[in-house]
Amino acid sequence: MTERKTRKVQVGKVISDKMDKSVVIAIETLNRHPLYGKIVKSTKKFQAHDEENACRIGDKVRVMETRPLSKNKRWRVIEILEREQQI
């Protein structure tokens, strides 16, 4: 029997929760520029599945790569690490 490969896990920030059971998250990465050596911040947006609709805008979440759930959703929310402070 073949073993399943480990799935990618990322930490990102929720930037939209307007969809039902879906959130848009932004994942920031810091990379060094190959020629100049300056640290460059790049942001990538992904759609993730949120089964309980628990995520709110500004929350810090951990997501895991999964099978395609829809046209754009390939990530699933594992847990909410940090809640955004509501005023």
pLDDT exceeds cutoff 80 at 1: no
CATH number of the domain where residue 71 is located: 2.40.50.140
Asked whether residue 2 carries a pLDDT value surpassing 90, the answer given is no
Which comes out higher in pLDDT, residue 84 or 19?
A: 19
Q: Residue 57: inside a domain, yes or no?
A: yes
Per-residue pLDDT tens over the stretch 40-62:
999 999 999 999 999 999 999 99
pLDDT at 3: 83
Average pLDDT over residues 15-21: 95
What pTM did the predictor assign?
0.84
Do 43 and 28 meet the contact criterion of CB atoms below 8 Å apart? yes
- Report yes or no: 46 and 17 within 8 Å, Cβ to Cβ: no
Range of the domain at 41: 15-82
Q: How confident is the model at residue 22 (pLDDT cuts 50, 70, 90)?
A: very high
Residue 68 lies in a domain: yes
- Maximal C-alpha separation, the chain: 53
Q: Count structural domains, the chain.
A: 1
* Dihedral angle computed from the Cα positions of residues 53, 56, 57 and 63, in that order, rounded to the nearest 10 degrees: -60
Mean residue pLDDT of the chain comes to 93
Specify if 41 maps to a domain. Answer: yes
Under 8 Å CB-to-CB from 28, ≥6 apart: which residues? Answer: 12, 13, 41, 42, 43
The neighbour count for residue 23, using CB atoms within 10 Å, is 27
